[in-house]
């Protein structure tokens, strides 16, 4: 009877530890995704500030993306608008029974900047989407 109780206690302990690790991993991933959202908002603000004097060049837009922990995937400029696709990356720790390992979260944003009725620049952002890393 004692061995059965010990096995049940060990199994219960492992289940509780696994649940806690999963919760911690989800929390870490969510924190990484929040960090990506902050970087995307910062990128958007920086490009909009640059767009006050005309749309920034592809090289300038790439530099803004890199400053905001991202990579410029595509750049499309017309006389009236600028459309960019930017991939953001954040790292976080993933914990298992065998230790911790670094994991990455990738997300892509599509930004469109165009003149508004007041003579400024309006922006449109497509919903945050998952993307494959490049």
42-85 residue pLDDT tens: 999 999 888 777 788 999 999 999 999 999 999 998 878 899 99
Residue 30 has pLDDT above 60, yes or no: yes
127 falls in which pLDDT band (50, 70, 90)? Answer: low
Two tokens at 50?
Answer: 């640059």
Distance between CA atoms of residues 124 and 44, nearest Å? 10
Helices 2-50 and 58-67 pack at an angle, to 10 degrees, of 140
Angle at 132 between CA 31 and CA 58, to 5 degrees: 95
Mean model confidence pLDDT for the chain:
85
Model pTM? 0.79
Which pLDDT score is estimated for 12?
84
């Amino acid at each position: 009877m004692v061995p059965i109780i010990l096995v049940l206690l060990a199994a219960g302990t492992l289940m509780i530890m696994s649940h806690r690790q999963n919760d911690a991993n989800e929390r870490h991933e969510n924190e990484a995704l929040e960090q990506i959202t902050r970087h995307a908002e910062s990128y958007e603000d920086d490009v909009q500030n640059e767009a006050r004097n005309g749309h920034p060049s592809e090289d300038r837009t790439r530099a803004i993306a890199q400053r905001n922990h991202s990579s410029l995937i595509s750049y499309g400029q017309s006389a009236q608008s600028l459309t960019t696709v930017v991939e953001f990356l954040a790292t976080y720790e993933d914990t298992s029974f065998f230790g911790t390992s670094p994991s990455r979260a990738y997300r892509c944003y599509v930004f469109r900047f165009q003149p508004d009725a007041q003579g400024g620049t309006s922006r449109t952002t497509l919903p945050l989407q998952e993307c494959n890393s490049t």
